[in-house]
Structure 1
């Protein structure tokens, strides 16, 4: 009984903290200890996610409110993964002036997003994260940073969305919409029977190829040599990608940010671990 009461008290404190930090005008950066979450989530579980039937029906206005340009248009409601097309109803969808061009898949606590935002001020950057509390943390972090940097107009170009990339990536992005995809320190899923849950695979690489424009780059980094070899092997085998030469890779400013600014990257640094980086360029589609 005592243990249950302690858990309940901690849960209540977390809820009260989150409610307080989300009040209008609060610009305090959130603290991770109030956003407790398991390290990993099973992508094949039913997470009761909301997603649009197609990219044209995605309402980005709440994520990027400073880029809303005109009056709402009649669209349809995003469908939960348990719904059918018959469940859809009319919805007012606001358009924004730019398309999202950069996606951080499994963005974690948002370190890469926050570091990229000021270096790419004219580009909309989206973090995709499946875990509920972690997504809330990044939302509150972005809100606080926007408030703190309101005069400089910083961090308006970055947002986060709770989503299962393995299932619904093409629901959010049109063909050739993205210029960069980041896959930073993904879950290695060491056991062979769990390799199907890895975020890089033959099937998923075809989806990355679909949403990436020709010349776009997939950035990968991990501290697990076996997973690095797996990702290189699968991208090398895919006809839509070629590996970026190391000299060009090391000259890319995004690589330095990716190495140093993610929470996992900082953890590897503290433990004197090695980081394995590989970049892959989207090739032009062959002529029919």
Structure 2
């Protein structure tokens, strides 16, 4: 037990050292040990906003805080205001909205690869595992520090969240232009299929937060799961599958294939990667739904 405690303390000390001011060292994964998967139905003691308009994005995208909020006095924090008997201020606003979500972003390979390709777009990684989220956060901060003069990696952030439960708490209707679902947990056993990140119910939530013309990107090395995702998106009235020619011309597809942690692992093992894209259709006028 003593050895386990010492290892945990070393990991914690390492993470604290990375957060020291001016540190730009990239984090090492061995100090962020975590189970490969997490049960989305468990109580993960997550913090989430009651609605998207109450979400404060300023800590994730500090370089995009509006000028009015950026110049706000330091003593207007909720704690300081409470001490003065005042109400907390409204969440700080960004100059633009998050438009791309990487669901189950893992160690952030896709986020980091997309950042310079889509420099004007805010991209958010959503990850349920604590240590993995911390790793991605520390890596983003290190990359920002290393590229301070170029201003790179300011447009990406990571948030610990349970997408299956709280996606509409973070995004308004039609806010997103792209959703990535890369190498999700296949949950092979039939009794575990309800935990799959693609389902009839969840696809309706993706349709809600995705704007007409927006794209859901899926990739997996498991043929059965690929078939499951295609089947469920094909059956949903809000989506149509993107033709292969258009799919292969999309630069995000090449990045998705090569830059994720799982994608690289599949490549090393000479495995196959199954890709499918689905476009969000416009809702029919009210009264014309069959």
Q: Same fold (TM over 0.5)?
A: yes
Match status 1:49 vs 2:43:
no
Q: Deviations over 1:55-94 (max 9, x none)?
A: 011000000000011236xxxx9xxxxxxxxxxx845411
Find 1:110's aligned residue among 89, 108, 112.
108
Aligned to 2:148: 150
Aligned to 1:95: 93
Aligned to 2:33: 36
Matches of residues 121-132 of structure 1 in structure 2 within 5 Å? 121-132=119-130
Aligned to 1:80: none
**Take 1:92 and 1:158, find their aligned partners in 2: how far apart are those partners?**
23
Aligned to 1:11: 8
Structure 1 runs (4+) greater than 6 angstroms displaced = none
**Take 1:268 and 1:90, find their aligned partners in 2: how far apart are those partners?**
48
Give the RMSD, CA atoms, in angstroms: 1.0
**Take 1:193 and 1:253, find their aligned partners in 2: how far apart are those partners?**
36
Q: Deviations over 1:247-282 (max 9, x none)?
A: 000000000000000000000000000000000000
**Take 1:225 and 1:179, find their aligned partners in 2: how far apart are those partners?**
27
Aligned to 1:27: 24
Find 1:281's aligned residue among 273, 279, 282.
279
Q: Which has the higher strand share?
A: 1
How far residue 9 of structure 1 moved from its aligned partner, in angstroms, is 1.1
Aligned to 1:62: 59
- Please, what TM-score do these two structures have when normalized by structure 1? 0.92
Aligned to 1:173: 171
Matches of residues 132-211 of structure 1 in structure 2 within 5 Å? 132-211=130-209
Secondary structure of 2:123's counterpart equals strand
**Take 2:88 and 2:7, find their aligned partners in 1: how far apart are those partners?**
40
Secondary structure of 1:103's counterpart equals strand
Aligned to 1:120: 118
* Structure 1: runs of 5 or more not aligned: 78-88
Secondary structure of 1:50's counterpart equals coil
